[in-house]
Amino acid sequence: MDSFILFIGLVAAGTTSASFFPQVVKVMKTKSTKDISLGMFSLMTFGVLCWLIYGILRKDPAVIAANVVTIVLSGIILFYKIRYS
């Protein structure tokens, strides 16, 4: 049962993290972030960092995996937002 729960957590982590890929690709291709809120992405990235720390402290691989990927992708969007604004 524990492996099934971990599997569900990893599927959830993978799909929610993957949802950032299309936005990152679009931002990198167009270098346009005019419709992206700096405030929202700043708070989002900070929240993801907190979740990552939480996952590390809890030694939860699903939480760690999701948030490592998401913080990288969110960080890329933030970088472009700040650089090209």
Query: Given this model, what pLDDT does residue 2 score?
Result: 85
CATH number at residue 29: 1.20.1280.290
Query: Given this model, what pLDDT does residue 62 score?
Result: 86
Range of the domain at 21: 2-83
Which alpha helices (DSSP H) does the chain contain, by range?
2-18, 21-30, 38-58, 61-83
DSSP state of 84: T
Question: How many domains does the chain fold into?
Answer: 1
Spatial distance between the Cα atoms of 49 and 51, rounded to a whole number of angstroms: 5
Compute mean pLDDT per 10 residues along the chain, 85 residues long, and list them. Answer: 87 90 94 91 93 96 91 93 87
Query: Given this model, what pLDDT does residue 84 score?
Result: 84
